[in-house]
Structure 1
Amino acid sequence: MKTKVYENAALACADISSGSSLMSGGFGLCGIAENCIDAIAELNINNLTVISNNIGNSGRGLVKILVQNKISKAYCSYVGGNPDLEKQMLDGSIQVELVPQGTFSERIRAAGLGIRAFYTPTGYGTLVAEGKETKDFDKPCILETALHGDFAIIKAQKGDKYGNLWFKETARNFSPLMAMAARTTIVEVEELVELGEIPPEDIHLPGIFVQRIFQGSNYKNDIEFLKVEEE
């Protein structure tokens, strides 16, 4: 069996190219693939379509590639706390499709399950519905299409060499859905273990949805750690 294990983020992300669609796990800054984002920041690419709950926050996360003008379009459900994205939205240098968070999750899940589109009442009668097909069921609904990605970059707390993953608490967020919806899923883990070291009942995402995995390092995202004030 060909190994899925890569030495580092640079090698795992090396073939992400201009024009690629990129799914990025994380809720705000919780659960983001920090090493992958740093590696993409070093690539000479542009015109990325990014699918992420938000495009970084307070100068961190995906903001690193946003300020390099590598993102031309973004699908997200939250843009607050991101002055860099606000600036690019206002000057027209990026196209942003705001998607209600439940619809955002379902569009990604649909892609992973092979569902092409679905109807939802969420967003009917608002800007979200502009240009979309509508149909009456028990109430008016709009047609939403599945969201696919060429690549997904996600982070897990623990993974084995086949790609079976265990996530720590809410850092799981959208990542398993994105892994199912992307052609190539790149995973960084804080602990890379041997096959069999994660009990089957603890596996949150089976390795069949993972194509590349590596052990990350130098994590600086303090939002994932409990801070207790000493008295």
Structure 2
Amino acid sequence: MTLPVFVINLDRRPDRWAAMLAQLDRLGIRAARIAAVDARLLAAQEERERETNNDDLSLGEVACVWSHRKALRAFLDTGERAALILEDDVELAPDTPSLLESVDWWPPDAGVIRVETGNISPAKWCLLWPASAETPSGRRVHRFERWTPGSAAYLVNREAAAFALPHFDNPAMPMDTLLFDHRRSRLARELRALQIVPGAARQTEDGDTSDLAGWRPRGPRHTKWGKHNKKSLLYRARLIALRCTGKVKKQRQGVYYRPAP
């Protein structure tokens, strides 16, 4: 069994699709293209706000969530047990094909496994639970407690995809926050995603200006993250307690990328 692969790509970026095809061909991976939702083609800002009832997100962030929704729907239509979802600006490690051979190496309760490295600055860090499995090539699989941004490469099974889809219809937060931020996202707390360490994928330098989530409408952008202050304090207290008891370990510089395990 080889898991299907879906690559999210904007129609106006055939260059990125060509680059992804070349990379996947070198790795011997076949993939299906998912036409990304283009923020520039969405309805006017006022119409989008009426539909989502949320002014926290840019049009690009909404388009990114809806693009991943299209990818998950395409995966569920295949009838396969799991799939790899990619954005078109990701660099894959040479052992990526081994991740697609089966799901036998997955921990029993795994629904989402992030393949990419967290896209964070070296000054930040993440908290990882002890490894619960290994990939076929020897990378460790951890549950993470403190999230790191990024949703450009992840494995997902049918149950998790079906459970997550309703949360994508009316997004209240960006895609990576929705899937991986335990503090802000109820979906993330339910899914309890796992992380491959070291990461087997990373967004390229061009990904710093992602076409999926980076485009923003002109004018002021409002935010409501302040309402999470109380939750933030409780979350920080939880992290401190977990570290003091030794249940999770601090890993500086996030989850680093390495071409080989």
Instruction: Please state which structure has a larger fraction of its residues in helix.
Output: 2
Q: TM-score, normalised on structure 1?
A: 0.30
Instruction: Please state which structure has a larger fraction of its residues in strand.
Output: 1
Higher relative contact order (CA 8 A, sep 6+): 2
